[in-house]
Amino acid sequence: MLEKYIQNKQRQLLEQQTDFYTSTGLHVYFKEPVENIDVEEVINKVESTIPEHLLSEIEMIIFGWFDEFEDRSINAFYDGGTLYVSNIQDDFMDLYDDIIHELSHSIEEPHGYFIYGDKKIEEEFLRKRRHLHDTLWKMGLKAPISVFMDSEYNEEFDMFLYQKIGYDKLSPIMIGMFLTPYAATSLREYFATGFVEFFLHPETHDFFQKVSPELYKKLILLQNPEELDN
């Protein structure tokens, strides 16, 4: 009885949420319904917030549930011109944040050399990683320095931060070092977290510039399409 009710409810929601195209040609498709959120309003806000030239890699957004979400403990990912976004969201801002975070990953392939080529963001990231290692070591939370000095994503290191220490405990330790604990997990997430902070929270720009000056400068340049053509 309950299962049938849920199925009927999902069908009604899907009927209310029809696929649509935005003014920029972005195709939004509902594999499963998103409850209690005006998705079109979220997408409109994204398109009005992010410069158009940074949206060019995204052709489609699909809302629904995918195996990758459970396998990788994520709720959104980017692949080949498409954003795959979980239909299970807390609220408007949760969905807005997820989409912009994955948008940041979409520009890494076409603009990767511009973002990372001069090594300035990577050097800034690794300086912070070394400082984090030294801070945690003094607290008795020990892991090899070699793991901290690898800028690529490492699941074991992520679990060290997330499970062994915990983001709640890390947050006060990382104030003035990283914008969020998740920003420390890899160079790519350092960039993505900064991208979200830059566009979603302009009121924090002074703090952002002090904490991550090289990343901040790069994001300032990314706003200008002429910089990417040079």
**Spatial CB neighbours of 76, under 8 Å, sequence gap ≥ 6:** 83, 84, 85, 86, 98, 99, 101, 102
What percent of the chain lies above the pLDDT cut of 90?
73
**Order of all β-strands in the sheet with 76-79:** 20-21, 27-30, 60-64, 82-86, 76-79
DSSP string, 131-154: HHHHHHHHTT----HHHHT--S--
**What type of residue is 163?**
Q
**Over the stretch 133-177, which tens digit does the pLDDT of each residue have?**
999 999 999 889 999 999 999 888 888 888 888 888 889 999 999
Quickly state the pLDDT bin for 50 (edges 50, 70, 90): very high
Residue 4, pLDDT > 90, answer no
Q: Is the pTM of this model over 0.75?
A: yes
Average pLDDT over the chain, rounded to an integer:
90
Separation between Cα atoms, residue 205 and residue 217, nearest integer Å: 11
Would you state the pLDDT for residue 5?
45
**What's the rounded mean pLDDT across residues 56-71?**
93
Quickly state the pLDDT bin for 230 (edges 50, 70, 90): low
Q: What is the DSSP letter of 24?
A: T
Would you state the pLDDT for residue 113?
94
Residue 20's DSSP bridge partners are 28
Separation between Cα atoms, residue 173 and residue 8, nearest integer Å: 48
Separation between Cα atoms, residue 113 and residue 208, nearest integer Å: 23
**What's the rounded mean pLDDT across residues 169-196?**
94
**What type of residue is 161?**
L
Would you state the pLDDT for residue 168?
87
Q: What is the DSSP letter of 186?
A: -
**Over the stretch 91-123, which tens digit does the pLDDT of each residue have?**
999 999 999 999 999 999 999 999 999 999 999
